[in-house]
Amino acid sequence: MSDHHPSSAISAGVRHVEALLESRGLLDPGEIDARIDAFLAGGSPANGARIVAHAWTDPGFAGRLLADANTAIRELGLSMAGGLQEQRLKVVANSAAEHHVVVCTLCSCYPIALLGPSPSWYKSEAYRSRVVRDPRGVLREFGWEPPADTAITVWDASAESRYLVVPRRPEGTDGLAEEELARLVTRNGLIGTAAV
């Protein structure tokens, strides 16, 4: 990274604080990097897909998920506690009447623990600004257009709160097991930029 890059001063400051914490014995050398690596290694869209498939097959879980997602996902051995504190997870469910889309208009806040690293388009200024102003147009560019009478709600993630969308369960999937249903769920579906 160039020393003239706008983030170089921030990076240097972070490295300085990390070195101070290590020198005082508050952090082991490399502890922050190890935590970040472990956090990223555990994050995958498969986690979000498991949550959705379980919600599709267990109405009780679906209700708990919508009411208190942080508590409900622990039933599946998942958590939003990838860093030093747990982030609030809000889960919203698509219906025939309403479709949900997630964005972070300020940066790229995203439930990494449940979806893995965010896609590059999610971080782009074009997506972040346009999905709020023209969600139908953005969805069309992703190759999907909800019916005209379906309301679209855009959720803005933040440093404290993350969002996950439960897509509508596809018709004709009643006989599928949870594992088979989970394979139908895509990361874009969990963000709301695609249907399942």
Domain shared by 110 and 161, yes or no: yes
Note whether residue 3 is domain-resident. no
Contacts of residue 157, defined as CB under 8 A and 6 or more positions apart, other chains included, come to 102, 103, 104, 109, 110, 163
Task: Report, as an integer, the average pLDDT of 63-91.
Answer: 88
Query: Which residue bears the tokens 């209700």?
Result: 63
Residues 96-154 have pLDDT tens digits of: 999 999 999 988 899 988 998 899 999 999 999 999 999 999 999 999 999 999 999 99
| 107 catalytic per annotation | yes
Of the candidates 168, 167, 173, the one whose C-alpha atom is nearest the C-alpha of residue 187 is 167
Read off the pLDDT band of 160 (50, 70, 90).
confident
The set of residues, in sequence order, having a beta carbon less than 8 Å from that of 70 and lying 6+ positions away, is 79, 80, 86, 88, 89
Q: Select which of 104, 120, 129, 158 is catalytic.
A: 104
Same domain, 35 and 123: no
Phi-psi region of 132 (alpha: psi -120 to 50; beta: other; left: phi over 0): alpha
The reply to whether 76 and 98 lie within a common domain is yes
Tokens of 185: 């769920």
Decide if 116 is inside a domain.
Answer: yes
Asked whether residue 178 falls in the same domain as residue 112, the answer is yes
Task: Report the predicted TM-score, pTM, of the whole model to 2 decimal places.
Answer: 0.79
* Model confidence at 23: pLDDT above 60: yes
Catalytic residue among 7, 107, 124, 129: 107
Q: Domain span at residue 21? A: 8-39
pLDDT at 4: 44
Q: Are residues 34 and 82 in the same domain?
A: no
* Confidence check: pLDDT of 6 > 70: no
The CATH number of the domain where 97 resides is what? 3.90.330.10
